[in-house]
Amino acid sequence: AIAHFGRTFENDPSIPKIYHKPARAKNEEEKFLRGKIEELKARNIRLIMIAPPSVPSRNLDAVEELTRRATGGKQSAIGIHNGISDRLGLPRTVSQNDVGERIVELLSNPNIKSGYTELFSGVFDAQTALEHWYGIPQVYVSTLKREGEVAGVKRGIGRAIASIEQAVRPNDPKMIDSISHDADGNYVGSVRITPQHAEGHFAEESGFPRILPGHKQIRAAVETIGMINRESGNSVYGMRLIGFESATFSSTIPADGDTELTIKPVENSDGTYDVEISRLSDGKQTAFIKKLRLMPAEDLEEPELLEDQLLEGAAQATGIVALEDLDSQTMPLLLGIGRTEFLGGGVKAGEGIKYDVYTKRVDKREIEGSVLIYSGDKIIGVTNEIRAVLVPKPVATRLLSSHA
């Protein structure tokens, strides 16, 4: 399992360096094999990945000894494996007999698709499915466990481990370039959307155009208000998201370097903000956030995920719980998010995230979901009415390219 999710753990200080190189090498080997799926299919060969978290063996004893030497006895291999398994919702160990029996079952099942990854205990590989759409740092759900369906409502648990890159965001440009005043004297922010603003959204191999994700429009609103507060002398800090009544996304934004957005926040009497985001070129609204609630963002001792990143994870989890088949050619496109509240507490690099998802069909194509967001065992966020439309990939490509 460490090898399969190896890119997530790169540069994680909680994992000894002796793991990084072999995990990356095995991960690259897996990527190479996945690149051969179509070639193998033509020869009537299926590729099935078996990724047990830990199998008792002499090899594991050797790894245990190496780990203790590398860490001066401070860490054990079994402790590292257990920690990763727990954060990803995987079983800590499986027996050799269980692995053998499962391999026979998979090989005997003609419905198992080539490229399937077996993680055991009913846990599905969400990471690989989402990497078909997004770049690796933009994948916020690694595993999925379906918890059944009652009265048309599906429940599922998505999990991930926050990576160093996600927490530090070294390649993310600011979502606000400057602020000015409009004709009425109100503050307005502006930002030109470059390819870096939408890095990995979507992956080049997906065939989709690169567009700005919805959660970064929310970030643009937060950063704009923070800059306005500093400019007006109301605060020396930036701002962080604590909630909103609703966020509606009405148009795609190409990350081509030619599109400039205007961000216009209006403060309400209760201290919340209504924020309209629109394209400068034609004035078309791309997003509207109602009753945005913020708090000052003081310097953190350790880097952690922003709240809008957690919302992206909640949206990804909602989409994959709704899909019948993770290898489907159907894609969820985000339409909006309902009432959302963050309750305090963040997710640092190396910590586990859990998304407890409840989703249902609104009509033939549209889904709606509510998500409880956990850091470890603590609820840190609640978001309702995540709305998305499920469309075939060719239709999604046309919609994303239209910028309507």
Give the model confidence (pLDDT) of 215-263 as tens digits.
999 999 999 999 999 988 877 678 999 999 999 999 999 999 999 999 9
Residues of the chain with CATH 3.10.129.110: 165-402
For β-strands 48-50 and 116-118, DSSP reports them as parallel
Nearest to 321 by CA among 360, 274, 377: 360
Least confident stretch, 66-70, 151-155, 190-194, 328-332:
328-332
Give the model confidence (pLDDT) of 66-117 as tens digits.
888 888 888 888 888 888 899 999 999 888 899 999 999 999 999 998 899 9
Nearest to 280 by CA among 306, 300, 251, 305: 251
Give residue 9's pLDDT. 73
Report residue 337 CA to chain centroid gap.
15
- This model's pTM is above 0.85: yes
Q: Which CATH class is domain 165-402?
A: alpha beta
In the structure, what pLDDT confidence band is assigned to residue 181 with cuts at 50, 70 and 90? very high
DSSP state of 386: E
Instruction: Report d(CA 16, CA 105) in Å as an integer.
Output: 35
